[in-house]
A and B are shown apart, each in its own frame.
Chain A
Amino acid sequence: MSDITVNTPIGSEPRSAPITAVGPIAWLRANLFSGWLSTAVTLVIGYVLVRAVMGFVDWAFVNAIWSVPVTNGVAQTQACRELHGSGACWAVVTEKHRFMLFGTYPYEQHWRPALVCILFVALYIVSSLRRFWNWRLIPIWTVTLTAIGVLMWGGIFGLPYVPQERWGGLPITLILATFGLAFAFPLSVLVALGRRSSLPAIKVLCVLYVELIRGVPLISLLFMASVMFPLFLPEGMNIDKLLRAQIAIILFAGAYLAEVVRAGLQALPKGQYEAADAMGLSYWQKTGFIILPQALRLVIPPLVNTFIGFFKDTSLVLIIGIFDLLTAGKTAIVEPSWQGFGVEVYVFVGLIYLVFCFAMSKYSQGLEAELNRHRRR
């Protein structure tokens, strides 16, 4: 027996570690005060952070004004102006949120765009569940998108007809993003396959398309859609502005998604292609049954990240005057009585974008961890 066991009386409890080595104190010492430099940084940042948070709470809650009186349809914003920026004027959001969310859609019909937004969110949630990742997604998308079209336009089932010029706000943002993805994704798969094709003419066409689109900013494509597109079409044939912007976004998204899909096609081991050939499968059988199911699974997380990018990029239609969420926010403060309260409006609009993008980004991170589970040791 060694000395250690001799010195320990039989039956006594093992001694616990010193209080400074475990528990919250140890955590503080390791993560906040591990040295003089770390301590100094913690103290300075802590001070600045506390001041900033207190300032923000003062501005956003303590000194804020949540509503103002309205006389003869004109908001009386004197109270807000007397704050001189020391408090937020959330009254602009209280007063204008219906306009920012739904634009100039007829006021008594606002339940329709609201229902459309809920349908979109439900569609996203269903598509994100892995047990729906099969053929069932196609009918689900077709039915939901048709229902959305019926709700927005109306004209049947006793719903009054609402022309497209009166749509606006959040539904427009969601329409641009969702329809953009729904059409750009199949396009991108075709282009990615074409770029890896052994047929030279098809390969050249796909490379040209992807590289030209990726070399120019989205704005130039949107300008093209708004001023050049009418020149492309025969006389008398006209496509409305929203559809033109939608086409520009589809072409743009298609090129970027094609590169993501191509990365998946390249990441697949060569043996998979060779095995499929050895089975005597035709090109489309090989692609449809062997290659794409594996390649697309590999690139789902970067695909979601690219989709976040497009969701944000739909806000660029502001520049060609389409009434999306951001344009509605910007228009809400054109009214003289609300001028100067841009910060509050942009915080409100920003929060909506943040909720959507943050949810998608968390989903993509979770998915990445789950799909990589077999690689973890």
Chain B
Amino acid sequence: MSDATADPRFRRKPPKRPLRLSWADERIRGIFWQIIVVGIVGTIVWWLWSNTAHNLEVRRIATGFGFLHREAGLPIAESLISYEPTDTYLRALTVGVLNTLKVAVIGIVLATIIGTAIGIARLSRNFLVAKIAGFYVEVIRDLPLLLQLLFWYTIMQSLPGPRQAMQPVDGVFLSNRGFKVPALVWENAHTAAALAFVAGIVLTWLYARAARAKRMIDGQPRKVWPAAVALVLGLPILTWQVMGAPWEIDWPALRGFNFRGGLTVSPEFFALLVGLVTYTAAFIAEVVRAGILSVSLGQWEAAQALGLRSGSVLRLIVMPQALRVIIPPMTSNYLNLTKNSSLAVAIGYQDIVSIANTTLNQTGQAIEGIAIIMLVYLTISLSISLFMNWYNARIALVER
């Protein structure tokens, strides 16, 4: 009998014991303690709730979300969608959410790239590279993020004014009003070219997949890069050419006391982004390093014995295995970056916390304001962890 479940004795269920109304019955004790704990928590919540209701009534504070449709009257310096102070609170808060998402998305992408590079650098055989990367990680991780944000913001503010702006490259101005870079005058042709670029990437991916499937059958390697160049670069350029090849650049220029034209990166946004990226990159570097170290040395040696170059070893053998260790802590770092972006309020970047805080001060509706902040972050956190869990499950499936 190799299979334990085949033994009839194991299939038998324990006899159902009737619930005895006695302290000796474990289930009765369980129910008793649950009633006690739920009762205590319920009483505390009820007490806080009734106090709050009473206080709101006494202080004549309005409740409900009716204020969302009133005129906000608060100025917002930077916004992804068109916004005027005469717009509603709802639109102001939407601008805040978009600003949070903007810094979070750009921050996550940059922190991943820089963090991975530093994590790999820390394992470099070059003594100098490894030590510098280690020093960076140790120092950055031991300083509060808020301190780092204030530091970067102070540096941005100590830059010269617009009239004495630094000009590292022609057309790029660096001053205490932020970065000024030339901007392309956006037209339909550019949108089409961007779409063609995305289509090119998708097509290349499909082509590479088909080539790999064919290689599995006949063993012949097929070159993917000519098709990749044609699709990813050729397709957008062709589309752009067909649509008349518009190319007009909006150069920033000094007019009076400030700049006109061009694209502005505000000092607040820049300080926040640099702070978040350098801080999170240090944590991501440790995650990547731990992931790579988790792959046993035998895998490296076996790959080298097969004659793979060190780049290929990392890409084909080590990374796919390391990713399984890396993804879960990476998720929590992404969540941390998003939640840490709320520190923007300290340096005046108008994210959701900053705008909801102003709203709360203007309307006096503290509960609703904080509820909005919490709801937005819970939604973002949940979305990121759902996506990362899906990706993690997909990576784990590769394992047989």
Contact = CB atoms under 8 A, between A and B. Distances in A.
B378 A231 contact: no
A199, A231, A308 — most chain B CB neighbours (10 Å): A231
Interface in A209-227: 212, 214-220, 223-224, 227
Give the 4 A-B residue pairs with the shortest CB-CB distance, closest first: A342-B154, A357-B142, A31-B127, A312-B144
A343 B155 CA distance: 7
A104 B146 CA distance: 22
B128 A46 contact: yes
Say whether chain A's binding surface is mostly helix, strand, loop, or mixed: helix
A215 B222 CA distance: 47
Interface stretch (B52-60, B65-73, B239-247, B390-398): B52-60
Given A49-B128, A308-B142, A216 B374 contact: yes
B381 interface: yes
A342 B34 contact: no
Contacts of A3: none
Contacts of A216: 339, 373-374, 377-378, 381
B308 to A, nearest CB: 18
A115 interface: no
Contacts of B377: 215-217, 220
Contacts of B54: 234-235
A199 B51 contact: no
A315 B146 contact: yes
A214 B331 CA distance: 13
A235 B59 CA distance: 11
B51 A232 contact: yes
Contacts of B38: 201, 205
Contacts of B339: 216-218
Contacts of B37: 201-202, 205
Given A201-B37, A217-B340, A361-B141, A228 B58 contact: no
Contacts of A330: 150
B342 A343 contact: no
Given A45-B128, A220-B342, A353 B367 contact: no
B174 interface: no
Nearest to B41: A205
Contact of B129 (A45, A234, A354): A45
Given A202-B37, A216-B373, A220-B377, A42 B58 contact: no
Contacts of B154: 342-343, 346
B128 A353 contact: no
A38 B353 CA distance: 47
Nearest to A201: B34
A186 interface: no
B30 A198 contact: yes
A205 B142 CA distance: 34
A218 B141 CA distance: 18
Interface of A: 30-32, 34, 38, 41-42, 45-46, 49, 85, 198-202, 205, 212, 214-220, 223-224, 227-228, 230-235, 308, 312-313, 315-316, 318-319, 326, 330, 340, 342-343, 346, 349-350, 353-354, 357-358, 361
Contacts of A316: 146, 343
Nearest to B126: A38
Given A217-B339, A220-B377, A315-B147, A32 B346 contact: no
Interface of B: 30, 33-34, 37-38, 41, 48, 51-52, 54-56, 58, 125-129, 132, 138-139, 141-147, 150-151, 154-155, 157-158, 339-340, 342-343, 345-346, 353, 357, 360, 366-367, 370, 373-374, 377-378, 381-382
Given A31-B126, A326-B144, A45 B132 contact: yes
Nearest to A317: B146
B158 A343 contact: yes
B302 to A, nearest CB: 21
Contacts of A217: 339-340, 342, 353, 377
Given A41-B129, A216-B378, A353-B147, 6 more contacts: A201-B38, A220-B373, A231-B51, A233-B51, A318-B146, A350-B151
Contacts of A227: 360, 366, 370
Nearest to A326: B147
Contacts of B147: 315, 326, 346, 349-350, 353
Given A31-B127, A215-B381, A342 B151 contact: yes
B379 to A, nearest CB: 9
Contacts of B373: 216, 220, 223
A234 B150 CA distance: 38
A313 B339 CA distance: 12
Contact of B125 (A31, A315, A326, A342): A31
29 contacts: A31-B127, A34-B125, A38-B125, A38-B126, A41-B128, A46-B128, A49-B128, A199-B34, A201-B38, A217-B340, A217-B342, A219-B345, A220-B353, A220-B373, A223-B370, A223-B373, A227-B360, A228-B367, A231-B366, A235-B54, A319-B146, A340-B158, A342-B151, A346-B151, A346-B154, A350-B147, A353-B147, A354-B143, A357-B143
A312 to B, nearest CB: 4
Contact of B353 (A219, A232, A340, A354): A219
Contacts of A224: 370
B39 to A, nearest CB: 10
